[in-house]
Amino acid sequence: LWSDARAAGVVDRWMADGTAERAYRRSGNMLFPGAAAPVLVSLQANEPTTLEAAATAGYCKDAIVQRLTGVRATDASDASLPFFDPRARRYDPALLDLYGLSCWAHLLAPVDPSPAPLRPLTAEGAAISGLPPGTPVHAGPFDLCATAIGAGLEHPGDALVIVGTTLGCGVLTDRVETGGVAAGMLLCLPRPDRWLRVMPAMVGTPAVEWLLGLTGIRREEIDGLLERSPPGANGVVCLPLLSPAGERAPFVDPAARGQFVGLSLETSRADLLRALCEGVAYAARHCLEAAGLGGAGRVVLGGGGVRSQGWRQILADVLGRPVLLARQPETGARGAAMAALDAAGVAYDREAWSRPDGVVEPDWAGAARYDAGYAFYRDRLAAAHGNWRGPD
């Protein structure tokens, strides 16, 4: 599970000795505590009998597909991190060796070709699901990839921001690049010549839920309070690094922690809320820039956070460009269905399935304010970085 922080010490060690960066240069994927490699190393050290008893080290959806179809397999999108060669679309023995996990290679499920095939529902799967035996089953891609498909990302440079449990930011690309800052993910899409360069920051909407719990703000008050505080939140700035597991994009630091700057006795609940929403928007801009967003690509917004009219306006203003609203409901589920239709060879109106629900234009008059706010956010982030420390 991505949110499992128990292997943070393994990531710390690999960050310090260069293992993490060497792995990134081969795969385009940076490690974080919940990734499979540190989790397996942690289990090897602390729960060896768990590994010895295991048949597969896989992903949630792959376990479900195995129960439904009897087939032990995964797809290229889920296999992308952390043992994969994204160009050849197969496991890389050199990466397994780098992590010290070659002896556990047999636990990795075989990787399906791209796009992944359909498989018939078994009698056991029919009993579990209530569907007729023989019903075609498609695993579906990694959730970020499915959402990119459902949001209509078609051309290299198109981008996605999912304000959900995490802040999933990704840019569609037609080439594998492993240079630059070692952070984020490079996920294989069903189309063999397309990848999603992803910077998935750890916290999205849970940051707002946390603040609502502290302050007593009700959900129905969010948009009204965002209007009550002006752009810039009366000088309050938030670094929304609130996950106990630290941060994984656009940088990796298990010790990263959040902060509010600029508080005074005059700071209101509205200021705190706006500063937090602006902080998440600044984090999205940082992630998209790190993922390679250029000037020509479309940006599509999705996730529960953009149900807030005020928050999606902040995102458009901070990004400084029009943003499209992903087709609702359930953009990711829509994308998974589209991937299944593609795998089945079924003709359908792809544009209609992924047509945006609307567009949010930025307030161009306030662009300079948010450019300055973003620069200050980056300065505060750099200053805070040296002061983070893990739990004693």
Residues 244 and 198 in one domain: yes
Residue pair 226/274 in contact by the 8 Å Cβ criterion? yes
Residues 326 and 251 in one domain: yes
Residue 323 backbone phi and psi in degrees, to 5? -125, 140
Rounded Cα–Cα distance for residues 244 and 251 (Å): 15
> E strand or H helix at 3, and its extent?
none
Residues 114 and 203 in one domain: no
Q: Digits of tens for pLDDT over the chain (392 positions)?
A: 767 778 989 998 999 999 999 999 999 999 888 889 999 999 999 999 999 999 999 888 999 999 999 999 999 999 999 999 999 999 999 999 999 999 999 999 999 998 889 999 999 999 999 999 999 999 999 999 999 999 999 999 999 999 999 999 999 999 999 988 899 999 999 999 999 999 999 999 999 999 999 999 999 999 999 999 999 999 999 999 999 888 889 998 889 999 999 999 999 999 999 999 999 999 999 999 999 998 778 999 999 999 999 999 999 999 999 999 999 888 999 999 999 999 999 999 999 999 999 999 999 988 889 999 999 999 999 999 888 886 55
Domain tally for the chain? 2
What's the CATH number where 33 sits?
3.30.420.40
Residue pair 149/135 in contact by the 8 Å Cβ criterion? no
On whether residue 214 sits in a domain, the answer given is: yes
Res 240: pLDDT = 98
- Where is the domain boundary, 94, 118, 137? 137
Residues 94 and 165 in one domain: no
Residues 25 and 150 in one domain: no
Q: Give the 3-state secondary structure of residue 101.
A: coil
The pTM assigned to this predicted structure is: 0.90
| Chain-centre distance for alpha carbon 49 | 31
On whether residue 1 sits in a domain, the answer given is: no
Q: Considering only CA atoms, which of 181, 149, 25, 8 is closest in space to residue 77?
A: 149
Handedness of CA 37, 38, 41, 42 (dihedral sign): negative
Residue with tokens 């010790």: 255
Residues 262 and 217 in one domain: yes
Residues 258 and 301 in one domain: yes
Per-position DSSP letters for 134-149, written without gaps between them: T-EE-----HHHHHHH
Residues 378 and 315 in one domain: yes
- Where is the domain boundary, 86, 112, 137? 137
Residue 376 backbone phi and psi in degrees, to 5? -65, -40
On whether residue 118 sits in a domain, the answer given is: yes
Res 389: pLDDT = 80
Residues 327 and 379 in one domain: yes
Residues 116 and 147 in one domain: no
> E strand or H helix at 299, and its extent?
strand 299-302
Residues 188 and 201 in one domain: yes
End-to-end CA gap in the chain: 24
On whether residue 123 sits in a domain, the answer given is: yes
- Where is the domain boundary, 98, 118, 137? 137
Rounded Cα–Cα distance for residues 148 and 156 (Å): 12
Residues 105 and 171 in one domain: no
Structural domain for 40, as ranges:
8-137
